Amino acid sequence: MKKYSTFTFLFFLSISFVFSQSSQDRAAEARGEQLLKEASQQIKSFRSLKIHFTYEMDNPQLKVNENMKGELLSQGDRFHMLLDGNLFISDGVNTWSYLKEMNEVYVNLLENSEGGLTPTSIIEEFETQFRAKYIRQETYKGKKVEIIDLVPNTPQPFYKYRVALDAASKMLVYTIAYDREGGTYTYSIDRVEPNASIPAGQFTFNASLFPGVEVIDLR
């Protein structure tokens, strides 16, 4: 009888633990989704957005570490991103990826582009592309930030993204993409200019400005 009671106690204890864990997971997912919705709504509320950022690529296994400054101007699905002389542009339908060292531009459809192309795209697309989970609140460079992990719903080169939002404003602070070879790709936001002015022609690629450029059309 004593053995039966002990077994019963342990069984219900394990069931309670599993139920508690699943409840915590659901609460963490709900919290993560709510915070990202607030961040997404804020980003989409701006007429345009200009972001100055630092990009870092790090892979200890390959002994690779690169640091670059970049600038992103976006309006809806359209964007113009300059990163270390390389240029990434979309008019909302097409994308142009210009590689300075090769003097080549690759043209593709936006729908064929991989997620996480710009610092804000994973936040704007999280509801359809990812499963969110709230991790914790912590202090980063003197400010309180909310940490959320995003796991893609379908297989892709990056198996997880980590997002940090300002706890007060819900503005993006940084994003980190994790690949399957141990590499991380971090966008750290240095400065944000809401409703920035947009110079003419920013969302199309003008080949005449790049003498001798080779155009590779993948559409």
Contact predicate 101/11, CB 8 Å: no
- DSSP letter for each residue of 82-115: EETTEEEEE-SSEEEEEETTTTEEEEEEGGGSPT
Q: How far is CA 53 from CA 14, 15, 138, 218, in A?
A: 47, 47, 21, 29
Structure pTM? 0.81
pLDDT at 2: 47
Q: Judge whether residue 4 has pLDDT over 80.
A: no
Give the fold, CATH level 3, of 2-217.
outer membrane lipoprotein receptor (LolB), chain A (2.50.20)
List 151's β-bridge partners, or say none: 131
Residue 157 DSSP SS3 = coil
- Rounded to whole angstroms, how far apart are CA atoms 177 and 2? 53
Strands 130-140 and 214-217: unpaired
- Domain ranges within the chain, ordered by starting residue: 2-217
Residue pLDDT, tens place only, 24-82: 778 899 999 999 999 998 888 999 999 999 999 999 888 889 999 999 999 988 999 99
Q: Which residues, in sequence order, are CB contacts of 185 under 8 Å at separation 6+? A: 55, 56, 57, 58, 116, 158, 176, 177, 179
pLDDT at 128: 80
Residue 119 DSSP SS3 = coil
- Rounded to whole angstroms, how far apart are CA atoms 104 and 210? 9
